[in-house]
Amino acid sequence: MSNHDLAIVILAAGKGTRLKSSLAKVLHRAGGRTLIEHVVHACAPLGARETIVVVGHQAEQVAPVVEPLGAETVLQQPQHGTGHAMQVARRAVGRAKFAIVLPGDAPLVRTETLKALIAAHRAGNASATILTSVLADPSGYGRILRKSETAVAAIIEESQLTDEQRELNEINSAIYCFTLEKLWPALAHVKPNNKHRELYLTDTIAAMTGRGETVLAEVAADSREILGCNTRADLAEVDRIFRERKRAALMDAGVTIQLPETVLIDPEVIAGEDTLIEPGVQLLGKTKIGARCTIRSGSVLSDALLGDDVTVEPHCVVAQSRLDDSVIIGPFARLRPDNHLKEGARIGNFVELKKSTIGEGTKAMHLTYLGDTKIGAKSNIGAGTITCNYDGFHKFPTSIGNKVFIGSDSALVAPVRIGDGAYVAAGSTITDNVPADALAIARGRQANKPGWASKKRRELAAAEKPKKAKRPRRKSKPRRSAKRRR
Ligand code: UD1
Ligand code: MG
């Protein structure tokens, strides 16, 4: 869509007092992103000539969030209301003919809705077109006062409603399309006639209609899209709606989600056809999952890359790791960042990996820590194996070849290399490299002492006997004397 005559202005300078937070309102998160990021994302496909974000409260935190998304920021300091915010944005808006103005705290608005708003504005040759909604409970919002079926007379803020106007249930979403050569003169006439002594952008509507300009209202198809986040309860509701939208999109793409309302998926997550997601799963960040995978209950994947046919058994935690086709992990596996598990590798219960490569078909099934380790194909890492990769100052690598067998409860003290086809005997503490095809044993040699145990038992039984002989019990005199003392 080409909108070379259009500017986007997002108003995000306010504090958000009703959230009771030290964080600026637009930086609160819902649906896996900050509120302001959602708004910028929704506007991006409009192809406007510029996107301007008016910042003020915590400007230094808001700017680095929106600028990488291609937005320009202008500073409103102090904040004298939404009308004042538009005045501050005026220079940045430059030569644009139209502007879409949105609040930074209404993140559910969809691109399609904004396109429809622009189309209605252009078709109606209007000075302003307001995105509105009809609500059963309009409290908290500015109300639309219509002068006819199609035309608007004014927006009345909640604090300025007459008793009669309080019944109006069409509300202002605070999303508008303006023809700028009509907006600027109207804004110049607005006065801060309200108890906060602010300049309200909403007052420009009556200023325009007073001069005979056309103001239209476009009713949003889905009233949930205009939900503003003024309270924590609003944030929770908005988060719920985003999560629902994302799950629905994945299900449309052929993913099965069981008990969908228990599953949390971030906006950029992708999953392939016939993948199954069990209850209580979280898929976060830029996680990408292939086809026919199974992600079982309680697993949390962030920035994970999964090939096809991967199984994540229950209660696994995976961060920034790549799992190739047919890998199986868990239950209860923990993959810290930077692992690469190659095709058919298996990682079992209570196994922790960090910065490690696990070769094709290699298995580490039980109670193991592998850090800074490279393992070739078809090796077996026994239960309880630990790579000792840290000496208290530095980290060191461990290299294990193809078809290696590491016996259970081995400690591999890095830096160390185990050659192809080598064996490490169970319980070894390996401090030197092991050549290919060798057996390394590094533990105390076993000594058996014949008959030692039965002899010990006999000695213990003999020592016990005298204790068992009954001694005559003393009479209970001391107890009586104790009573008397009381
Ligand atoms: C506003 C509208 C109201 C509408 C409602 C929809 C006004 C006067 N009222 O009320 O009609 O029904 O949104 O949610 O516009 N902001 C600035 N600078 C300022 C003041 C505010 O940038 O000086 C920004 C805020 O950060 C926010 C947006 O403008 O993102 C709207 O401000 P907010 O205080 O939330 O207005 P509402 O009371 O919700
Ligand atoms: Mg608001």
Q: Determine if ligand 1 sits within 6 Å of the CB of residue 66.
A: no
**Ligand with an atom nearest the CA of residue 143:** 1
Assess contact for 182 and 97: CB atoms under 8 A. Answer: no
Atom of ligand 1 nearest to the CA of 11: 22
User: Which of 28, 80, 366, 394 is flagged as catalytic?
Assistant: 366
Atom of ligand 1 nearest to the CA of 172: 12
Specify the pLDDT at position 468: 55
**Ligand with an atom nearest the CA of residue 12:** 1
Alpha-carbon gap, residue 192 to 394, rounded angstroms: 64
Specify the pLDDT at position 470: 61
pLDDT digits (tens, 9 = 90+) for 174-202: 999 999 999 999 999 999 999 999 999 99
- For ligand 1, the distance from its centroid to the CA atom of residue 4, given in whole angstroms, is 27
- For ligand 2, the distance from its centroid to the CA atom of residue 93, given in whole angstroms, is 23
Instruction: Determine the residue of 26, 82, 223, 230 to mutate for testing ligand 1's pocket, defined as the one with the most ligand atoms within 8 A of the Cβ atom.
Output: 82
Q: Copy the structure tokens of residue 419.
A: 């050659």
- For ligand 1, the distance from its centroid to the CA atom of residue 481, given in whole angstroms, is 86
Specify the pLDDT at position 478: 55
Specify the pLDDT at position 485: 47
**Angle at which helices 35-43 and 111-123 pack, to 10 degrees?**
50
Q: Determine if ligand 1 sits within 6 Å of the CB of residue 143.
A: no
- For ligand 1, the distance from its centroid to the CA atom of residue 185, given in whole angstroms, is 21
Specify the pLDDT at position 469: 56
**Angle at which helices 82-93 and 180-188 pack, to 10 degrees?**
130
Look at residues 282, 254, 283 and name the one whose alpha carbon lies nearest to residue 268.
Answer: 283
Specify the pLDDT at position 403: 98
> 56-83: buried (b, 16+ CB within 10 Å) or exposed (e) per residue?
bbbbeebbebbeeeebebbebeebbbbb
Q: Determine if ligand 1 sits within 6 Å of the CB of residue 132.
A: no
Specify the pLDDT at position 467: 61
| Residue 366 bears catalytic tag | yes
- For ligand 1, the distance from its centroid to the CA atom of residue 141, given in whole angstroms, is 10
pLDDT digits (tens, 9 = 90+) for 338-375: 999 999 999 999 999 999 999 999 999 999 999 999 99
Q: Determine if ligand 1 sits within 6 Å of the CB of residue 79.
A: yes
Specify the pLDDT at position 1: 62
Which residue ranges of the chain lie beneath pLDDT 70?
1, 466-486
Specify the pLDDT at position 477: 57
Q: What are phi and psi of 43, to 5 degrees?
A: -80, -25
pLDDT digits (tens, 9 = 90+) for 71-117: 999 999 999 999 999 999 999 999 999 999 999 999 999 999 999 99
Q: Determine if ligand 1 sits within 6 Å of the CB of residue 190.
A: no
Q: Determine if ligand 1 sits within 6 Å of the CB of residue 35.
A: no
